Structure 1
Amino acid sequence: MSWTLGPGDLPDLARGAALLGTGGGGDPHIGRLMVEAAMREHGPVTVLDPGEVDDAAFVVPTAMMGAPTVMVEKIPRGDEAVTALRTLEAHLSRSADATMPIECGGINSMIPLVVAARTGLPVIDADGMGRAFPELQMETFGVYGVPGSPMVVSGDHGETVTIDTGTDNRRMEWLARGAAIRMGGAALIAEYAMSGADVKRTAVPRTLSLGLALGRGLREAREQLRDPVSALAEVLAPTGYSHLRVLFAGKVADVERRTVDGFAKGRARFVSFDGTSTLRTEFQNENLIAEVDGAVRCIVPDLICVLEAESGEPITTETLRYGQRVVVVGISTPDIMRTPEALAVFGPACFGLDAEFRPVEEAVPVG
């Protein structure tokens, strides 16, 4: 069933998208402001359930790529993603019937909404990551046979770069990353053009509506003086993200962060409130691994989310600061993201981590 998303929904969606971004995905607040501006001018957006998309429909996902730290200071002009879409349409001699997120976390839950508001296209309630990942080949679309290219990278000076590497999505990422770096460290893109049938086969379904529900759950928990983590667990329980585990509670003790090769890379150390336990995380835009006292408690592709201790507000890797009081949770990913094929594309080894994937519900059992 299609539904309408308006300006009043955006604060909740931004909050939920920040959670699903697992620390990365770009600042959803910036994306929210971009969507609000587009909606003020053009009106609300129609969101389509993936099940109702025609098999023959032509779908062009749109997104931002680059280091999230850059987006804090280099806010997009607003029309770059539409330029990328239109350029790809011209290259393929075909007009899009809908757009869609490539990832449901952070700013990339918002960019397709900007495109939809500005063009009148509907947005499909699905994505290709089920969270946020730092590299373009890390898509369920690609895992299950949809090539990412041809793709278009668009900068804030009106320039575009069209990249076609056939079925080599990793080389597509490498070339596009170089273009984005030379466009100032961040750019807007259109890629993974596919049919409606491909959407149903390869996408993680209903992640926009999940982000909206998670953000609403956190807001209502705060208004009702309820535990935000329990509220999140209630929202997630009936979904493909059904397992939530509290990994750690304490304070940020140290953050090392740098922008390298177009990514925000680093690590953080947290100390428990009583000083007896330590959590260490590593990130590449997004949180990748969480070790408590040397033992792995959660690892990519499962979600590692740092929350403000009192409100449950998600904290991104670029806003982690010494002294913040936090709760860190791990959330299970849907089955489509845990297959051997998927782990070969965005499992621990793809980030150079010397650890095997173990589901968070096994690493941190209840009881």
Structure 2
Amino acid sequence: MRFIGVKEIKNIAVGAALLGAGGGGNAYVGTLMAISAVRKHGPIKLLDPDELADDAFCVCSSHIGAPAVSAEKFPNGNELITSFKKMQAVLGKHVDATFPIEIGGMNSMLPMVVAAKANIPLVDVDAMGRAFPEIQMSTFVLAGHPITPIVMADERGNTTLLDTIDAYWAEKLGRAITVKMGASAFMTSTPLTGLDLKRDGVKHSLSFCEQIGDLITNINKFASLAEGLEKLLTLTHGYQLLKAKVVDIQHTTKDGFNYGTVKLNGLDHDSGRVGTIDFQNENIIFKVDDQVRTTAPDLISLVDGDTLVPITNEELSYGKRVYVLGLPCDAKWRTPEGIKLVGPRYFKYNVDYVPLEELISMKGGI
């Protein structure tokens, strides 16, 4: 157990932007909310999942909707604690701790807001080890846990209680409500015990984000950017897939999601290569010269070509120079059940999932 404050929050935000694989919501907005809560209520107690009592009662706090909308439609600051308190009232239980549903952008920050305001611990665990676009894409769903009841809230003060027959219906109905709330809403969901978190979550993901963020924030301590990039890839067990310039972005918001394609022209040793990334909030498939190089559930992340600061899809702009990185997903997603839930065929791509490392080996390295 330790306490985290402003410095740790900033580092976690940077790491979460990388593991968000292009999505996860606007990290900047979430960071401001978390920092404001800590400055008002004091540091947050961060618990190792193994420190939780087996019978501890935990819920997660998160954002649902299109990330690009969340960058413009700012919350009023009360949505999270409103939905949290209503969840306690609905279940008639005191919540002992909270945790992030995913590691990515805003959704890594929002449980910190609730932890500070409700004076409860934050658990160093999440349900994805990255960010995914749909709420049933959870290691807890893989393990058979329900994610309902869900309490949703918007900035106007509206709240909605969802209690569905399964996680897929929670996604369908929750997404429809989100669209009516303006394509951006907040929710409390996934009631679990401490034993559930320890057994079925992705452990130490917040600490991992903090390590990544600390490295990137202090990139100038390395002799060169190339050395810093090498250290980052070593830490994340990742690969540099392309050095490129953004030359086109097609982007639309539909049914509560951001959809789009990013086109990249290779630079330096990658000159002459053409890369494309398709995304649904998060980056789903990456091709170079029409050859698949990475797909979900492995991570496809972009970092600034001069600073290595992660770039989310709503922050991309024409002419931006980037590195495309591929990072391996948590082992839970590489099971047959995990691939069925979040692999490329779920997203309507007619390709089979092949682990990042095998794709690179098959193509003779980068």
Q: TM-score, normalised by structure 1?
A: 0.95
For residue 212 of structure 2, what is the amino acid of its counterpart? L
Partner of 2:35, secondary structure, is helix
Distance (whole Å) between structure 2 residues aligned to residue 141 and residue 85 of structure 1 = 20
Q: Which residue of 1 aligns with 2:230?
A: 230
Q: Is residue 249 of structure 2 the alignment partner of residue 251 of structure 1? A: no
For residue 169 of structure 2, what is the amino acid of its counterpart? R
Q: Which residue of 1 aligns with 2:199?
A: 201
For residue 207 of structure 2, what is the amino acid of its counterpart? S
Q: Which residue of 2 aligns with 1:169?
A: 167
Partner of 2:346, secondary structure, is helix
Q: Which residue of 2 aligns with 1:296?
A: 292
Distance (whole Å) between structure 1 residues aligned to residue 157 and residue 322 of structure 2 = 41
Superposed displacement of residue 336, structure 1: 1.4
Q: Which residue of 1 aligns with 2:45?
A: 46
Structure 1 unmatched runs, 5+: 237-242
Superposed displacement of residue 149, structure 1: 0.7
Q: Which residue of 2 aligns with 1:119?
A: 118
For residue 245 of structure 1, what is the amino acid of its counterpart? Y
Aligned mate of 2:349, from 340, 345, 353:
353
For residue 212 of structure 1, what is the amino acid of its counterpart? E
For residue 56 of structure 1, what is the amino acid of its counterpart? D
Distance (whole Å) between structure 2 residues aligned to residue 225 and residue 38 of structure 1 = 37
Q: Which residue of 1 aligns with 2:28?
A: 29
Q: Which residue of 2 aligns with 1:94?
A: 93
Q: Which residue of 2 aligns with 1:7?
A: 6
Distance (whole Å) between structure 2 residues aligned to residue 202 and residue 154 of structure 1 = 27
Superposed displacement of residue 235, structure 1: 2.1
Q: Which residue of 2 aligns with 1:286?
A: 282
Distance (whole Å) between structure 1 residues aligned to residue 136 and residue 329 of structure 2 = 18
Q: Is the 8 A contact 1:58 1:194 kept in 2?
A: yes
Partner of 1:350, secondary structure, is coil
Distance (whole Å) between structure 2 residues aligned to residue 108 and residue 55 of structure 1 = 25
Partner of 2:345, secondary structure, is helix
Distance (whole Å) between structure 2 residues aligned to residue 64 and residue 322 of structure 1 = 28
Superposed displacement of residue 337, structure 1: 1.8
Distance (whole Å) between structure 1 residues aligned to residue 123 and residue 10 of structure 2 = 19
Distance (whole Å) between structure 2 residues aligned to residue 339 and residue 155 of structure 1 = 36
Superposed displacement of residue 225, structure 1: 4.3
Q: Which residue of 1 aligns with 2:312?
A: 316
For residue 93 of structure 1, what is the amino acid of its counterpart? G
For residue 235 of structure 1, what is the amino acid of its counterpart? L
Q: Is the 8 A contact 1:22 1:306 kept in 2?
A: yes
Structure 2 unmatched runs, 5+: none
**Residues 216-246 of structure 1, C-alpha deviation per residue, up to 9 Å, x if partnerless?**
111222343433321212322xxxxxx3111
Distance (whole Å) between structure 2 residues aligned to residue 74 and residue 202 of structure 1 = 34
Q: Which residue of 1 aligns with 2:181?
A: 183
Q: Is the 8 A contact 1:332 1:360 kept in 2?
A: yes
Distance (whole Å) between structure 1 residues aligned to residue 252 and residue 216 of structure 2 = 30
Q: Is the 8 A contact 1:218 1:231 kept in 2?
A: no
Distance (whole Å) between structure 1 residues aligned to residue 235 and residue 218 of structure 2 = 12
For residue 160 of structure 1, what is the amino acid of its counterpart? T
**Residues 261-290 of structure 1, C-alpha deviation per residue, up to 9 Å, x if partnerless?**
010100011011264110111000010010
Q: Which residue of 1 aligns with 2:266?
A: 272
Distance (whole Å) between structure 2 residues aligned to residue 8 and residue 351 of structure 1 = 37
Partner of 2:260, secondary structure, is strand
Q: Is the 8 A contact 1:134 1:284 kept in 2?
A: yes
Partner of 1:306, secondary structure, is strand
Q: Is the 8 A contact 1:309 1:326 kept in 2?
A: yes
Distance (whole Å) between structure 2 residues aligned to residue 351 and residue 314 of structure 1 = 24
Distance (whole Å) between structure 2 residues aligned to residue 290 and residue 215 of structure 1 = 24
Runs of 4+ in structure 1 off by over 4 angstroms are none
**Residues 62-97 of structure 1, C-alpha deviation per residue, up to 9 Å, x if partnerless?**
101110001111111112111111111111111110
Pairs within 5 Å for 1:95-174: 95-166=94-165, 168-174=166-172
Partner of 2:310, secondary structure, is coil
Partner of 1:99, secondary structure, is strand
For residue 251 of structure 2, what is the amino acid of its counterpart? R
Distance (whole Å) between structure 2 residues aligned to residue 189 and residue 76 of structure 1 = 12
For residue 271 of structure 1, what is the amino acid of its counterpart? N
Distance (whole Å) between structure 2 residues aligned to residue 334 and residue 184 of structure 1 = 32
Q: Which residue of 2 aligns with 1:240?
A: none
Q: Which residue of 2 aligns with 1:239?
A: none
Q: Which residue of 1 aligns with 2:328?
A: 332
Distance (whole Å) between structure 2 residues aligned to residue 179 and residue 216 of structure 1 = 38
For residue 71 of structure 2, what is the amino acid of its counterpart? V
Aligned residue pairs total 359
Q: Which residue of 2 aligns with 1:192?
A: 190
Distance (whole Å) between structure 1 residues aligned to residue 78 and residue 235 of structure 2 = 34
For residue 197 of structure 1, what is the amino acid of its counterpart? L
Q: Is the 8 A contact 1:49 1:125 kept in 2?
A: yes
Partner of 2:70, secondary structure, is helix
Q: TM-score, normalised by structure 2?
A: 0.96
Distance (whole Å) between structure 1 residues aligned to residue 78 and residue 204 of structure 2 = 26
